[in-house]
Amino acid sequence: MKKILLGLVTVFALNSCTDEDYDNLNHDPRNPEVVPASFLVTGGNTSYFYRMISTNVNQNIFRLVSQYWNETEYTQETNYDLEGRQISDSFWNEINMNVLYDLSEASKMVDTDVNLSEAQKINQKAIIDLLQVQAWQTLVDTFGDIPYSESLQGKDNLNPKYDDAKTIYEDLIRRAIESTNKINATEGGFGGADIIYNGDMSKWKKFGASLQLKLGIQLSDVDASLAQSTITSAVNSGVFTSQADNFTIVYPGAEPYTNPLWIDLIKSGRNDFVAANTIVDKMNSLNDPRRVKFFKENLGTGVFVGGEYGRATAFAGHTQISATLEDISYPGTLLDYTEVQFMLAEAAARGFAVGGTAESFYNAGIKASFEFWGNTTAEADAYLAQPTVAYATAAGDWKQKIGNQFWLAMYNKGFEGWNVWRRLDAPTLNLPQATQNPVPTRYTYPIRERNLNKVNYDQASSAIGGDKQTTKLFWDVN
Amino acid sequence: MRRNLKNLFVLGGLLLGSSLYAQEKTVTGKVTDSYGLGVSDAVVKTTSGQEAITDEDGNFSIQAKQGDLVSVEAIGLPSQSFTVGAGSEYNVSLKPTETVELEGAVVTALGITRDKKSLGYATQQVAGETVSAVPLSNFADALSGEVAGLDIKSSGTMGGSSNMIIRGFSSITGNNQALVVVDGTPINNGTYNTGDQTTGRGGFDYGNAASDINPNDIETLNVLKGAAATALYGSRGQNGVIMITTKRGKKNKGIGVEFNSAITVGTADKSTLPRYQKKYGAGYRPLTVREGGHPDNPYFTVGPGNSFVAQFGADASYGAAFDPNLMVRQWNSLFEGLPNYGRATPWVAAKNDPNSIWGTSTTYVNTASFSGSNEDGGFRVSFTNNLTDGNLANSELKRNTLSFGGDYKLTDKLKATANIIYTNNKGRGRVGTGYDGLNPMQSFRQWWQTNVDLKEQEQAYFLTRRNISWNATSLTNTTPQYTDNYYWTRYENYQNDSRDRYTGNASLDYKINDWLSLTGRYSFDNYDELREGRIAVGSAGSLGEYMYFKQSVSENNYDVMLNVNKQLTDNISLDANAGWNLRVEKIDRFIGTTNGGLLIPGLYSLSNSANGLTAANISQFTGTKKVDGMYARASLGFYNMFYLDGSIRTDRSSALWSGQQNRYWYPSVSGSFVFSELMKGSFINFGKVRANYAQVGNDTDMYNLYNVYTLNAPFNGGSATNPSQFKNQLLKPENMTEYEFGLEMAMFKNRVTFDVSYYNRKTTDLITPVDVSSSSGASSIFLNAGDMVNKGIEASLTVIPVKSEDFTWRLGFNFARNRNEVTKLAEGVDYLQLASLQGGISIGAQVGEAYGIIRGTGFVYDDNGNKVVGDNGQYLASATTTKIGNMNPDWTGGVKNTISYKNLSLSFLIDFQKGGDVFSLDTFYGYATGLYDNFTTGLNDLGNPVRNTLANGGGVILPGVKQDGTPNDVRVDASNGNGQGNPWGYLSGTSPRQAHVYDASFVKLRNVTLTYDLPQKFLDNTFIKKLSVSAVGRNLWIIHKNVPFSDPEAGLSAGNVQGYQSGAHPTIREIGASLKVQF
C-alpha cells in the first residue's frame, strides 16, 4: 500500500497546476489585446480607401454601376447580378467590421490613453467621429435603412435593429457639425501617424465641413430646410478651398499599400475592363480633353470607342483605362475639391446661399476636375466655351447640366458617380445589353442579413418598400 | 498490456457446446497464426474448467476429457475451438479475418484489454492485413467500406487527407475527426491546411498527420464507436476512436525476420475525368469587326497576311467549329524557337487533351522487420520505406518509418514497455486544390480550349524553359492572361514539405499483488514540419513568391493508472481502474511570405523579397494547452453472463476560463447480458444484448476567450485591425450525451454472425463561432450555441455459406445509416454558414435540417414537380437562396467476399453510398465554357447543332413547363459561352445553382486481393518459414455514380466542409503485387 500512496502523491504533485496557471495560457503572446488608437484609425482608413477604390469585382463594382467602365469577358457584375456575386455581403461586411468597428474601438482606446492631453483627445475623437460619419453615410446611401443605433455591440447585440435612414442622416449631420466644431486647429491630433493630413487639424476641420456639405446636399429633395441649414453650417465652417485639401491617401507604392487599381489592372495580368460606351460616347460628343487623361489612346490618336455596356466587349478594339490609374503609387482620393465645387453648384441651383451662383461653382468644378486630371487651364476654358458645356447653353434643366458634368468629373469615383445619377437623374445611363436589368438604385441587403438577422431584416425591407435593387432611397424622390 | 490477458480470461471463459463424460487425459498441441508461427500467451480452456497458456512457441498442454470443447483465444485473433476426440494432439491455427468478431480479446480505451463479450458497447475490429494488403500512403483509405459507421472520404489528391467520421458530424465547427491512438499514444491528426484550402479557394492538401502511421506495423485496428466506449479518453474520444495496436515481438527461437515488398501502379480512372468535346475550339463568341473579328470567320481575329488567329485569351471552347482544312495561327505560332513559329496549323481538336497529363504512378513499399523474445521480454524493430512517384509530372512522396517496440520484465513484479516510431515524410510537387492556378484541374475542368495539345505545351516548356502558355494575352502580348503552361506550373511552381515525427511511449507496470497493479505511462507525439511554396517570376498574375512555413507540434500525455482485477466470488468478478491523465499540447508556427515579388528569379528565400517583410507577410502562432483529468472505471461480471460497467471522469482544461467553468464531470454506464449462456446446445452459439448511456464533456481550442488585434503592415506608424471572429471569455464546456443498444449473435456453428447497434447522440452547448450580422462588428462570435442530434443504426453481418477443409467462402456485410439534425443554434439564428463557397452557394447548419446542407438558388417547381421556365425559356431561379442539397449520405455500406481454396484466397470489397449531394463548380463553369462532350455540343430537337444560332435552327428547349403550366416550347439560344446565350452555365439570370448539385450515390469495387501462400512442404528444407504472394487492386471500378466526369467522393480535404467539388482530381486506380517472406 505504501507504493500506492507514493503513486497518489505523485499524481497530485503532477496535478498541482493552479487555475491561475491555466488561465494565463489563454492569452496569446504573439498578438496584442490592446493597441494605440492610431493603429486602428490607420487600419480603418486603409480599409475604407481600399474598398472604395479597388476594382476587384468581389469588392467594388461602383465603376460598373455608374457605367464608367465595362467588363470584357465575364459580365455578371456589369449586368448587376448583385445576388449571385454576393456583392452586398462583401461591401456591408467590410464597412461594418473593418471600418466602423475599428474606428469605434479606436475611440475607446483614446479615452483610456493616459499619455494624451485633453485637447488631443478631443481632436482625435473628432477625427474618428468624422471618419465614422463618412462611412455611415456611405452605407446608408448604398442600402437605405441599416442597423445604426444598436450596431457594433459585439455579443451584446447579435440582432441589431434597423434604423430609419432619414433618422440616421439627422444624427450624422448632428455628429458632423459637433465634431467639426470641436476641432481645435492649434492642438495636435494623430500627428505623423495621420495618413491623410499628417496631423494638420485645420484640414480635418475643412474635411468635416465638406462632409456636412455632402450630407446636406443629399437631403435637398426630401428635407430642404435641414439640407439648407446643414449646407450653411458647412460653408460657414469652411469647406475645401483647393486640391491641397483633398481627402487623399498617398500610397507608398509597395505592397500591401499600393494603388488598389494596380493590383487588378497590372499585377493580375488580366484585361478585365475597358471604357464603357456610356461615358465615352458622352465625352466624344463634348470633345472632352479629359479623355486622354481618363483613357489610353490605344485605338489611335483621338479615337475613343467604349464597350457596349453590359455586353462582353473584347479588350482589343475598345478604349482602355488610362495608364495613370494603373500606376502602383497613384494616390487614392475620395472627397475632393472638385466634388465640393459641384455640390456647391447644385446647392446654389437649389437656391441655397452658398456664396456664389450655380454657374460660378459649375465652372469652378469643371476647372477643378481639369486641374485634378492634369489638363491645362486653357483646355478647361476652351471646353467651357463650348455651347454644349457652357452653363447657360448646355442642354437640359439645371439638374441635367450639373448632373452630366458632375458625373463626368466623378470618373474613377464610381460611388459618387452613382450618387449624382440617383440625386439628379442625370446623365442617362444605359441598360446592360445582356440582361436589360435596370441600373440599381440601391444594393439589396446582404444574404447574410436575411439569414442571420431575419426579423429586423423583414421589418426594414417593408419599411423601405421592398428589398429590391430598384427600390429608391428615401432621398431619391425626384 | 498483454499481461492483462491472463487475468481477463479468468473472468470470461468461453463455454460452447456440451460436454460428454469421459476419462481425463493430457492433451497437447500447438497454436499457430496465419504465418504458421507459434502464438504465445494464447489461452486454452476446456469446458470442464481447465486452463492453460501457450508457451513462446505456441505449445500447450492441458488436462481434458474426451468430448470436451477446448477453446483457444489470443489477442487480436479470432478464437477457435475443437472437440477432444480419441487423439491427444491438436494443432490450432488462428487465422485472422477481417470480419466482425463477437468474441475474443480486444483493446479498449486507454489500452485496457477486455473480453469482447463483456463489453456493453459497439466496437469493430479490423485485421492489420486489411490495411497493409494494398500499399497506401494513408492507412485510413483502406478502411473505406470495412467498418459499419466509419465514413472515410479521401480527398483524392496525392498524399491528401482522409476525412474520418464515426457516427456522423456531432460538432458544428469543431473537430469531427475520429481520434487515432497508436499503442496508447493519441496521435495528432490535424491537417493544418489553410482556410482557403478547406473552402475551395486554393492551396495544398498536406494530408492528415495520422497518415504517418505505417500500415505494415499495424497488428490490429479496433474502432470504438460510441461515447461509452471512448469516455475514458475524455473529450478527445468523443468522435470515436481508432485504436491501433502495432505488431509486437513474436516468441521465436532466435530472431524472426520478416520481409514485405510491394509495388503498385496507379492510373487515373477515366470515368472521373472530363470527356472533352472535339467539335469546337477556342473562343467565347464571334467577335465584332471592331474587336478584331475576322471578316471571313468572326471566331478568329485578323493576323499577318489576313490570316486567322485563334482567340488565345478566351479560356473557353465555344469558338469556331473544327475543320482540318482551316489554317489558323494558334498559340504555338507566337513563340520563336517552337517548330510552328509563325505558321498556321489546321484547326482541329487536340490529339493530346489534358487527360494525357495523368501518367502512371508507382508506389514501392518495402518493410523489413526483426523480432525476438525470451521469457523476460520481446522486441520488434521494423523499417519501412514507402516511395510514391505520383501520376503528375514532378510529384513524389517519400516516407521512411523506423519503429521499435519492446517489453521487458525487470523483476517478477515490474515490467517495462516502450514503443517508439520515427517517421520522416517528404513530399514534393503536391498538386494544388480548389479554384487556383496551382490546381491544373481548375483550368482543365472549367476554363479550357479543346484545340490545345498538351504534348505541344510540354515541348514548348522543355524547349525554352519559359512559361509559354496557350493563354497568351494577344498576338503581341504573349504573357499568359490567366493560365500558365501546365508544365511550367509543375516544374517551376512546385511546393515541397517534410515532417519529422517521433511518436511513442514508455510505461512501467508494477504488480502490487495478484489482483492489483499500478501503471505509469508517458506518451509523446512530437513533430517538426516544413512547407515551402514557390511561384516563379513569369507566372500569370504574380511577381514571384516564396512561402516558408515551419511548425513544431507536440502532444505529451502523462498517465498513472491503478488496476484492479479480482474474482470476488466464484461467480462475480471485478475489473476496475482509476487513473489520472495530464495532456499538454504545444504548437509553435512561423509563416513568412515574400512581399511584392522576388528580386532574383529562381532564388527562393525570404531574403529575396522585393519589398521588406511586414506584419502582413509574417504570421506567428505559439501556444500551450493543458488538460488534466481523473477517472475511475469499474466492471462487474456475474456468472459470465451479466456485465455491468460504470465510469466517471472529470477534466479541467486551460482553454476555458476558471472564472466561468473550466472543470467538467461526466459519467457512463453500460451493461451486457450474454443470453446464450442460457441456451447452450441450441443453434445459437452466442448471443448478447447490450445497452449503454454516456456523457462526455468537451472544451475548446486555445485562444477562444480573448480578442486580439491583427497587426497590419505599418503605414506611417502601426496599423491594426479588429478580428472578424470575436472570442468570448464566458464559454462553458460542451456536452454530449449518447445512449446505445446493441445485439450480437452467432448462430449455426458460428456460420452466421451479426452485430446491430442503435445509437442516439445529442450534443449540446456546442462551442461555435456563430455567424452573426456583421453590423455587430464581427462576422462570427464564439458562443455556447448549437445542439445537434445524431441517431442511427449500424449493422454488420457475416455469413459463411461454405466451409470445408479446403474451401471457405465468407461473406461480410456492413451497413450504417445516420440521421443528423441541428436542433438549436444561437438565439434568433436559424442558419450557420460553415463556408461561403465560390459559385454563390454556402454549406452550413440550419435548424431543423441535417448538418451540412447546401444552400443556393434553386429551381422553381410547379405542383407536379416540373421545373418552371420564364418567358425567355430559361429556368426560373428561386427568389432567394434555399436548401438545394445535403452533404450527408442516406446510408453507406460494404460487402466483402472472401473465398479461399487451399492456399489460395481471393477477397473483394464492394462499397456503396446512397444519397448525399455534391455541388460541382466544375460543371458550373465548364458547361458555360463548353469544353465537355455532352448536351452542350449535341444536336437539338430539330436535329441541328445546339450551338447554331436560333436563326440557324440551333438552341434548346429546356425540359419543363412555362409559368402557365403548359410544356415549355421556347427555344433558348445556346450559341455563346459567355452568358448571352447559354442556358447551362454560371451566368446571371440563367440556370439556378441547383442545376449543379448532383446525387453523390455510388457503388464501387473498392479492393480485390488475391493471395497465394506457398505450401509448407516446399519450404520445409529452406530457411524460409513462410512465403506468400498477393496481387492487389484498389479503386478498380466505379460501378455506378451520378456525378458527371468526377468521383462523387472527391472533395477538398478532411474537415467539416464536404459536398463541394472544385477542380476535382481523378480517382487513381491501383494495381499491384506484394511478397511477404518470413525467415
Domains of chain A: 34-67+81-239+446-472 (1.25.40.390), 274-320+336-434 (1.20.120.840)
First to last CA, chain B: 27
Closest partner CB to B826 (pick from A158, A198, A317)? A158
Contacts of A48 in chain B (CB under 8 A): none
Q: How confident is the model at residue B98 (pLDDT cuts 50, 70, 90)?
A: very low
Which position has the grid cell 428615401?
A474
**CA gap A204, A184 in Å, rounded:** 10
List of residues 6+ apart from B1007 with CB closer than 8 A: B133, B134, B142, B907, B908, B909, B1032, B1033, B1034, B1036
pLDDT at residue number B101? 46
| pLDDT tens digits, one per residue of A419-462 | 999 999 999 999 998 788 899 999 999 988 988 898 999 999 99
State the average pLDDT over residues A376-390.
97
**Whole-number Å distance between alpha carbons of A99 and A80:** 25
Residues 1035-1054 on B with a CB inside 8 Å of A are none
With CB atoms and an 8 Å threshold, state whether B301 touches A316. Answer: yes
Gap between the Cα atoms of B1042 and A459, Å rounded = 43
Give residue B95's pLDDT.
60
Higher pLDDT, B64 or B886: B886
In the stretch 110-139 of chain A, residues with CB closer than 8 A to chain B read: none
- Strands A146-147 and B256-268 turn out to be unpaired
Contacts of A311 in chain B (CB under 8 A): 980
* Residues of chain A positioned with their CB less than 8 A from the CB of B707: 33
Nearest to A28 among B291, B543, B703 (CB): B703
Distance between start and end Cα atoms, chain A: 93
> What pLDDT score does B1018 carry?
83
Instruction: Summarize pLDDT for A211-256 with one digit per residue, the tens.
Output: 999 999 999 999 999 999 999 999 999 999 999 999 999 999 998 9
Q: Quick one: pLDDT band at residue B7, thresholds 50, 70, 90?
A: very low
Hey, is the C-beta of A29 within 8 angstroms of any chain B C-beta? yes
Residues in chain B closer than 8 A to A268 (CB atoms): 541
- Contacting residues of B for A23, CB less than 8 Å apart: 654, 657-659, 662
A248 touches chain B (CB under 8 A): no
- Residue B27 pLDDT grade (very low, low, confident, very high; cuts 50, 70, 90): confident
Percent of chain B with pLDDT over 70: 93
As given in the structure block, the three cell numbers for residue B245 are: 495496436
Size of interface A-B (CB pairs under 8 A): 304
Structural contact between residues B907 and B129, judged by C-beta atoms closer than 8 angstroms: no
- Determine the pLDDT at residue B941: 93
- The distance of B517 to chain A (nearest Cα, Å) reads 9
Average pLDDT over residues A16-43: 92
Of A20, A85, A449, the CB nearest to B773: A449
Q: What is the pLDDT of residue B56?
A: 66
Are A317 and B291 within 8 A, CB to CB?
yes
Q: How far is A254 from chain B (nearest CA, A)?
A: 7
**pLDDT at residue number B15:** 30
State which amino acid sits at residue A121: K
| Residues ≥6 apart with Cβ < 8 Å to B796 | B99, B100, B124, B148, B754, B755, B812, B813, B814, B815
At B485-504, the pLDDT tens digits run 999 999 999 999 999 999 99
Does the pLDDT value for residue A39 go beyond 60? Answer: yes
**How far is the alpha carbon of B582 from chain A, nearest alpha carbon, in Å?**
8
Mutate to test the interface with A, among B516, B522, B626, B774 (most CBs of A within 10 A): B774
Chain B CB within 8 Å of residue A264 CB: no
pLDDT-derived band at B112, boundaries 50, 70, 90: confident
Cβ contact A147–B773 (<8 Å): yes
Task: For residue A168, give how far its alpha carbon lies from the nearest alpha carbon of chain B (Å).
Answer: 15
| 8 Å CB contact of A25 and B518 | no
Mean pLDDT of chain A: 94
Predicted local confidence at residue A62, as pLDDT: 97
**Partner-chain contact A152 B777, CB within 8 Å:** yes
pLDDT in tens, A147-195: 999 999 998 998 999 999 999 999 999 999 999 999 999 999 999 999 9
- Which of A26, A93, A195 lies nearest to residue B703, judging by beta carbons? A26
Q: Is A140 left (phi over 0), alpha (psi -120 to 50) or beta?
A: alpha
Cα angle B553, B558, B559; round to 5 = 140
User: What percent of chain B has pLDDT above 90?
Assistant: 57
What Cα–Cα distance (Å) separates residue B814 from each residue in B136, B226, B588, B794, B895? 23, 17, 42, 8, 7
The answer to whether the Cβ–Cβ distance between A29 and B558 falls below 8 Å is no
Q: Are B503 and B418 in contact (CB under 8 A)?
A: no
Is the per-residue pLDDT at A140 higher than 60?
yes
CB atoms near residue B302 (< 10 Å): 18
Shortest Cα–Cα distance, B477 to chain A (Å)? 11
- Is the Cβ of A159 closer than 8 Å to some Cβ of chain B? yes
**pLDDT one-digit tens code per residue, B859-910:** 999 999 999 999 888 899 887 788 999 999 999 999 999 999 988 999 999 9
Q: What is the DSSP string of B311-361?
A: -TT--SB-SPBPEEEEEEE-GGGSSTTSTTTT-EEEE---SS-GGGG---E
Check residues B114 and A81 and name the one with the higher pLDDT.
A81
Q: Partners of B60 in the beta sheet?
A: B29
Quickly count: other Cβ atoms within 10 Å of residue A351's Cβ: 11
Chain-chain contact of A318 with B771 (C-beta, under 8 angstroms): no
The reported pLDDT for the residue numbered B142 is 78
Q: In this complex, which of A28, A84, A195 lies closest to B716 when CB atoms are compared? A: A195
Q: Looking at residue B6, what is its pLDDT?
A: 35
Q: What is the DSSP string of A93-134?
A: HIIIIIIIHHHHHHHHHHHH-TTS-HHHHHHHHHHHHHHHHH
- CB of A32 within 8 Å of a chain B CB? The answer is yes
Q: In what order do the strands lie in the sheet with B241-246?
A: B123-127, B218-224, B241-246, B179-182, B185-187
Residue among A32, A42, A328 nearest A192 (CA): A42
B3: pLDDT strictly greater than 50: no
E strand or H helix at A33: none
Q: How far is B643 from chain A (nearest CA, A)?
A: 27
Position B8 confidence tier, pLDDT thresholds 50, 70, 90: very low
Record: contact A84-B857, CB cut-off 8 A: yes
- Please name the residues between 44 and 83 in chain A that touch chain B, using a CB distance below 8 Å: 46-47, 73-76, 79-81, 83
Helices and strands in chain A, H and E counts: 21, 6
Contact B709 A40 (CB under 8 A): yes
In whole angstroms, give the CA distance from residue A214 to residue A423.
12
User: Which of the two residues, A35 and B239, has the higher pLDDT score?
Assistant: A35
pLDDT greater than 60 at residue A349:
yes
Decide if A271 and B662 are in contact by the 8 Å CB cutoff.
no
**Mean pLDDT for chain B?**
87
Q: Could you tell me if A300 lies within 8 Å of chain B, comparing CB atoms?
A: no
Higher pLDDT, B596 or B206: B596
Give the mean model confidence (pLDDT) for residues B837-851. Answer: 89
- Are B520 and A7 a contacting pair at CB < 8 A? yes
**Which residues between 366 and 425 in chain A have a beta carbon less than 8 angstroms from any beta carbon of chain B?**
none
Question: Is-contact A375 A352, C-beta < 8 A?
Answer: no
Nearest-10 crossing angle of helices A358-373, A377-385: 140
> Using CA atoms, how far apart are residues A78 and A451, in angstroms rounded to an integer?
26
**Whether residue B974 has pLDDT greater than 70:** yes
Task: Check residue A16 and give its pLDDT.
Answer: 59
Identify the closest residue of chain B to A3 by CA–CA distance: B512
Residue B775 pLDDT: 96
- Binding-face residues of A in 302-321 toward B, CB within 8 A: 305, 311-318
Model pLDDT, residue B573: 85
Q: Is B654 on the interface with A (CB under 8 A)?
A: yes
Cα dihedral B195, B198, B204, B210 sign: positive
Mean pLDDT computed over B1027-1031: 90
**Subunit contact B712:A26, Cβ cutoff 8 A:** no
Predicted confidence band of residue A116 (pLDDT cuts 50, 70, 90): very high
> How far apart are the C-alpha atoms of B321 and B298, rounded to whole Å?
12
Residues in A touching B721 (Cβ below 8 Å): 40, 43, 47, 98, 102
Does any CB of chain A come closer than 8 Å to the CB of residue B701? no
E strands along B594-612, which residues?
A: 595-598, 609-611
Residues of B in contact with A448 (CB under 8 A): 771, 773-774, 833
List pLDDT tens digits, range B601-641. 999 999 999 999 999 999 999 999 999 999 999 989 888 88
| pLDDT at A468 > cutoff 60 | yes
C-alpha cell at B629: 483529468
Closest-CA residue in chain A for B774? A93
Residue B729 gets the label, from left (phi > 0), alpha (psi -120 to 50) or beta, of: alpha
A447 contacts in chain B (CB < 8 Å) = 880-881
pLDDT tens digit string along B929-964? 999 999 999 999 999 999 999 999 999 999 999 999
Q: Do B622 and A40 touch (CB under 8 A)?
A: no
Half-sphere exposure of B621 (CA within 13 A, CB side): 14
Residue B295 has pLDDT above 70, yes or no: yes
